[in-house]
Structure 1
Amino acid sequence: MTRPPPPPPADGRSGPPDARQAVEALWQALSRDAALAGPPGERDIHRLARAFGMHGEQCLVGLIADDKGQLIRESAHLLTCLMRIWAARDLSAGAVWTELDRRTQVGELLVMLNTASRRRAGRSPGRALGRPWKIQSTKLP
């Protein structure tokens, strides 16, 4: 069953908000709420973990069933649960974004190294080893 699209925003904007703005606003609200609530108890952590697992599972169900609406809704829930977990453990969202950026840069470096070695491989057919440091994978660490 498909839900109708949400009504347009009341502030006059047309279309969805920028992803960066939406995630930042969500993070600010969740981290503020976590700071006001104080340190989470064991029961709170178990609830967060259970909710994260449930919404992750529902994301997979939406993926397998090819239900884009469910995948979108559950992905939003999953991201919210994940950010609540970060806030509960006093993790900075910036630290996670920095780690993602680091992984992306390493992946791009590996692609660049592989591409450069392939281009130059035809120029030096007499070299026995070519590039002994050649990376065999571009998978992110």
Structure 2
Amino acid sequence: MAPSPLPPPDDDTAAAPEARQAVEALWQALSHDAAQAPPPTERDIRRMTRAFGVHGDHCVVGLIAGDRSQLIRESAHVLTSLMRIWAARNLSAGAVWTELDRRTQVGELLMMLNNTPRRRAGRSAGRALGRPWKIQSTKLP
């Protein structure tokens, strides 16, 4: 799917903060609140996970219905709920970003291995496996 050159008409990109700044500000607020609060009870955790699931469902409904405003609104709720769960379990957002970066790098490496130039048929003649390391999937680990 190719990205569209122009933003959708209902997105106010002039007033939107940079994504990194918005996520960082949200994380700072949520982690500060979690640090000040007593450790979450199992009931608190269940409530947070239920909210995450409900907003995730609503996000999918907005996607299927083609309702951009609902998809945007519920996506923000999903991210907020997920970050609340991280903060409640004292999980660093940096650890998650590092894992995402690792997966991206591994995926890019696998793509590079799959796209290496092939040798001429005469050179590899007689070898049963010309490229035994060839990756058959483009899915990230």
TM bucket, shorter chain: 0.7 to 0.9
Q: Which residue of the partner structure matches residue 36 of structure 1?
A: 36
3-state secondary structure, aligned to 1:90: coil
Q: Where does residue 6 of structure 2 map in the other structure? A: none
CA distance in 1, matches of 2:139, 2:94: 23
Alignment of 1:1-141 (within 5 A): 14-116=14-116, 119-122=117-120, 124=123, 126=125, 127-141=127-141
Q: Secondary structure at the match of 1:120?
A: coil
User: Residues 122 and 76 from structure 1, CA distance in 2 versus in 1: closer, same or farther, beyond 3 angstroms?
Assistant: farther
In the TM superposition, residue 38 of structure 1 has moved relative to its aligned partner by 2.0
Tell me the distance in 1 between the aligned counterparts of 2:40 and 2:93: 18
TM-score normalised to the size of structure 1?
0.85
Task: Give the CA RMSD over aligned residues.
Answer: 1.7
1:67 CA displacement: 0.7
Q: 1:122 to 1:65 in 2, by over 3 A?
A: farther
1:43 Cα deviation (Å)?
Answer: 1.3
Return the offset for 1:134: 1.2
Mind listing any 5+ residue stretches in structure 2 that lack a counterpart?
1-9
Q: Within 2, Cα distance between the matches of 1:106 and 1:49?
A: 30
How many residues of Structure 1 are paired with residues of Structure 2 in the alignment? 129
Q: Deviations over 1:65-101 (max 9, x none)?
A: 0111100000000000000000000000000000000
* C-alpha deviation, 1:122, in angstroms: 4.3
- SS of residue in 1 equivalent to 2:136: coil
Measure, in 2, the Cα distance between the counterparts of 1:131 and 1:115: 11
The percent of aligned pairs where both chains have the same amino acid is 74
Unaligned runs of 5+ in 1: 9-13
Q: Deviations over 1:19-42 (max 9, x none)?
A: 001000000000000000121011
4+ aligned runs moved over 3 Å, structure 1? 121-125
